[in-house]
Amino acid sequence: MSLILYTNPMSRGRIARWALEETGTPYEARILQYGPEMKAPAFCALNPMGKIPVLCHDGVTVTETAAILAYLADAFPEARLAPPPGSPARGPYYRWLFFAAGPLESATTDKSLNAEVPPEKAAFVGYGSLALTLDVLEQAVSVTPYLAGDEFSMADLYLAAHLGFGMRFGNIAPRPAFQDYTSRMMSRPAAVRANTLDDELMPKAS
Ligand SMILES: N[C@@H](CCC(=O)N[C@@H](CS)C(=O)NCC(=O)O)C(=O)O
């Protein structure tokens, strides 16, 4: 079995590494530096965007962090990282995974670029406003311990990683519900292992 993650410790690749650690499956991490290494033809053959993370699993290539997480959950079902297909919890699982990959990602990116949505355009913008997006997420993480059913899933991993990055880099104002949720998720042994591995690589990364 071949399982390779192309990543950089200063990137969304940290989320994919956490996901790999949750599966408990051995994998190889190949570190790419920003710049020419990510734009080299051999790497662009895997991801024409020239971006990381990229996952290669037995000849299958997956890009887009949320897709990598969903793929891993399905490829390694014994790790129980997604509600089984057909279960009612599959609904909120998809809902929050896509909500974080779409509205939340867009809203926090715009915030970091100081791009303001005029209130009269909120109906046209998928996330409406960052404040509304965060209010909805605050409710979601407050009502139940996990987003989808009674167990941790890749939706939690992805949302917690984004909330954690957002609060750390100032795009998301800390709220007690977010702090409680992210610290619960990020204290999982797989998250701690992944962070340790990536932090150790930081001095070599650019
Ligand atoms: N939509 C992609 C975004 C990937 C992305 O933007 N990766 C950044 C690092 S976090 C990157 O590779 N940037 C290098 C570049 O564009 O040259 C995902 O969710 O995985």
What confidence tens digit (pLDDT) does each residue in 83-104 have?
A: 999 999 999 999 999 999 999 9
Pocket test for ligand 1, best of 52, 113, 169 (most atoms within 8 A of CB): 52
Q: Average pLDDT for residues 128-145, to the nearest whole number?
A: 98
Paired with 30 in beta bridges are 6
CA of 11 to the centre of ligand 1 (A): 7
Q: What percentage of the chain has pLDDT greater than the value 70?
A: 100
DSSP structure class, residue 119: G
The yes-or-no verdict on residue 206 having pLDDT over 90 is no
CA of 6 to the centre of ligand 1 (A): 11
Pocket test for ligand 1, best of 12, 65, 112, 154 (most atoms within 8 A of CB): 12
* Atom number, ligand 1, closest to the C-alpha of residue 8: 9
Distance of alpha carbon 185 from the chain centroid: 12
Q: What per-residue confidence (pLDDT) applies to 179?
A: 98
Residue having the nearest C-alpha atom to atom 12 of ligand 1: 51
Residue having the nearest C-alpha atom to atom 9 of ligand 1: 11
The whole-model pTM stands at: 0.98
* Atom number, ligand 1, closest to the C-alpha of residue 39: 17
Q: How far apart are CA 3 and CA 25, in angstroms?
A: 9
User: Architecture of domain 90-188 in CATH?
Assistant: Up-down Bundle (1.20)
Q: What percentage of the chain has pLDDT greater than the value 90?
A: 98
Q: What is the pLDDT of residues 183-204, one digit of tens each?
A: 999 999 999 999 999 999 999 8
Confidence of residue 47 (pLDDT cuts 50, 70, 90): very high
Q: Does domain 3-80+191-201 have CATH number 2.30.30.170?
A: no
Confidence of residue 44 (pLDDT cuts 50, 70, 90): very high
In this structure, the residues whose C-beta lies within 6 A of any atom of ligand 1 are: 11-12, 34, 38, 50-53, 64-65
Give the Å distances, CA to CA, from 52 to 40, 69, 141.
13, 14, 28
Q: Average pLDDT for residues 46-71, to the nearest whole number?
A: 98
CA of 161 to the centre of ligand 1 (A): 15
* Atom number, ligand 1, closest to the C-alpha of residue 16: 20
Q: How far apart are CA 173 and CA 61, in angstroms?
A: 35
Smallest CA-to-CA distance from 104 within 144, 185, 164, 149 is with: 164
CB 2 within 8 A of CB 57: yes
Q: What per-residue confidence (pLDDT) applies to 108?
A: 98
Confidence of residue 181 (pLDDT cuts 50, 70, 90): very high
Structural domain boundaries in the chain: 3-80+191-201, 90-188
Mean pLDDT, the chain, integer = 97
Pocket test for ligand 1, best of 34, 39, 51 (most atoms within 8 A of CB): 51
* Atom number, ligand 1, closest to the C-alpha of residue 101: 19
The yes-or-no verdict on residue 16 having pLDDT over 90 is yes
The yes-or-no verdict on residue 205 having pLDDT over 90 is no
Confidence of residue 129 (pLDDT cuts 50, 70, 90): very high
